[in-house]
């Protein structure tokens, strides 16, 4: 362990993976623990959180799981209470949960809209609300919200609810940075481009993976670990003067129209 997060207590929501492999929350929870944090791994699915905890414990890290559906305010409060009850304080809240939705404006239903916005955006409001008194009591802390480049740019396919939720996360990050800065609580956002996680693996053909690899400015595929390392920086005191920032992690695809505009798989 390199100790960049030594002494800190962190919550990671969506700390499991929705299939075999490593999702963004799982990679982040593992890296937080490797850097010395005690990590509460929250997930809607007990086995998924448990799998991440087992990997962390196998490396000697300190962790425990908590089953929560973050679209429910009561569960948001419960996971924060669990972290503080088990570890005595809270320093980092990593809001990672997100679900996809691929319907465009012609197809999106009221039910889908409400569900996606509740899971992706409302969840972050109420985890933060529960966490703020504890972060303030610790002398300050770091909140990291996982958005997406889909919140920053247009994709040809409709992802109306998903893209709106991800843009909303950027707005929420800005307003919370303003509200909470005086308490030394930093609020930042990570906007990944498509990285190869279980969430996207099921729908990507080998040709689409290769197209994405070549679409950015750096011709390498992204992984959940790329997102996790960005989170380690924002969680650590190395970023003590950074708040309200949107850290884009996308191999530069947002900067290019070369093949980026043609590449239609948002995430």
Active site residues: 162
Binding mask of the shown chain, residues 124 to 163, with x at each position contacting ligand NAD by CB under 6 A: ----------------------x-x---------------
- Does residue 99 bind ligand NAD (CB under 6 A)? yes
Does residue number 170 form part of the binding site for ligand NAD (CB under 6 A)?
no
Kindly tell me which residue out of 96, 127, 142, 164 binds ligand NAD, with binding defined by CB under 6 A.
Answer: 96
How far apart are the C-alpha atoms of 174 and 124, rounded to whole Å? 13
Based on the shown chain and the rule CB under 6 A, indicate whether residue 17 belongs to the binding site for ligand NAD.
yes
16 contributes a contact to ligand NAD by CB under 6 A: yes
Cβ distance to ligand NAD smaller for residue 16 or 141:
16
- Whole-angstrom distance, CA of residue 212 vs CA of residue 260: 8
Q: How far is the CB of 94 from ligand NAD (least distance, A)?
A: 10
**Residue 103: CB atoms within 10 Å:** 17
**Interface with ligand NAD, residue 199, by CB under 6 A:** yes
The residue within the footprint of ligand NAD, chosen from 9, 39, 176, 195 (CB under 6 A), is 195
Region near ligand NAD per CB under 6 A, out of 16-24, 174-182, 203-211, 238-246: 16-24
Q: Is residue 44 within the footprint of ligand NAD (CB under 6 A)?
A: yes
DSSP per-residue letters across the chain: ---TTTT-EEEEET-S-SSSS--HHHHHHHHHHHTT-EEEEEESSHHHHHHHHHHHHHTT--EEEEE--TTSHHHHHHHHHHHHHHHS---EEEE---------TTT--HHHHHHHHIIIIIHHHHHHHHHHHHHHHTT-EEEEEE--GGGTS--SS--HHHHHHHHHHHHHHHHHHHHHGGGTEEEEEEEE-----HHHHTT--HHHHHHHHHHSSS-S---HHHHHHHHHHHHSGGGTT--S-EEEESTTGGG--SSTTT-----
Site for ligand NAD in 72-91 (CB under 6 A): none
Q: How far apart are the C-alpha atoms of 96 and 265, rounded to whole Å?
A: 20
Taking CB under 6 A as the binding criterion, the range among 31-39, 40-48, 55-63, 124-132 that sits at the site for ligand NAD is 40-48
CB of 18 to ligand NAD, least distance (A): 3
247 binds ligand NAD (CB under 6 A): no
Question: Contacts with ligand NAD in 204-233 (CB under 6 A)?
Answer: 224
Out of 4, 14, 131, 188, point to the residue binding ligand NAD (CB under 6 A). 14
Q: Which residue is nearest to ligand NAD (CB)?
A: 98
Pairing verdict, β 9-13 and 246-249: unpaired
Residues near ligand NAD (CB under 6 A) are 13-14, 16-18, 23-25, 43-45, 48, 68-71, 96-99, 119, 146, 148, 192, 194-195, 197-200, 224, 267
């Amino acid at each position: 362990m390199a100790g960049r997060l030594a002494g800190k207590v962190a919550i990671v929501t969506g700390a499991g993976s929705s299939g075999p492999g490593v999702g963004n929350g799982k990679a982040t929870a593992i890296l937080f623990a490797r850097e010395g944090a005690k990590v509460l791994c929250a997930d809607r699915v007990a086995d998924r959180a448990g799998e991440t905890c087992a990997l962390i414990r196998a490396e000697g890290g300190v962790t425990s799981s908590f089953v929560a559906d973050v679209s429910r305010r009561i569960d948001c409060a419960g996971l924060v209470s669990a972290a503080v009850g088990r570890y005595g304080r809270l320093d980092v809240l990593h809001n990672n949960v997100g679900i996809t939705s691929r319907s465009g404006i012609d197809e999106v239903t009221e039910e889908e809209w409400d569900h996606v916005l509740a899971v992706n955006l409302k969840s972050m409001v109420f985890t933060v609300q529960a966490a703020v008194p504890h972060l303030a009591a610790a002398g300050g802390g770091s909140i990291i919200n996982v958005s997406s480049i889909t919140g920053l740019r247009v994709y040809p396919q409709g992802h109306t609810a998903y893209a709106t939720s991800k843009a909303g996360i950027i707005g929420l990050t800005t307003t919370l940075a303003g509200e909470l800065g005086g308490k030394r609580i930093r609020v930042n956002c990570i906007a990944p481009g498509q990285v190869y996680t279980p969430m996207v693996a099921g729908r990507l053909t080998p040709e689409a993976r290769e197209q994405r690899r070549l679409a950015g400015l750096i011709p390498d595929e992204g992984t959940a670990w790329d997102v996790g390392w960005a989170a380690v920086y924002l969680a650590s005191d190395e970023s003590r003067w950074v708040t309200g920032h949107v850290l884009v992690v996308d191999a530069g695809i947002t900067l290019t129209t070369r093949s980026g505009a043609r590449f239609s798989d948002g995430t």
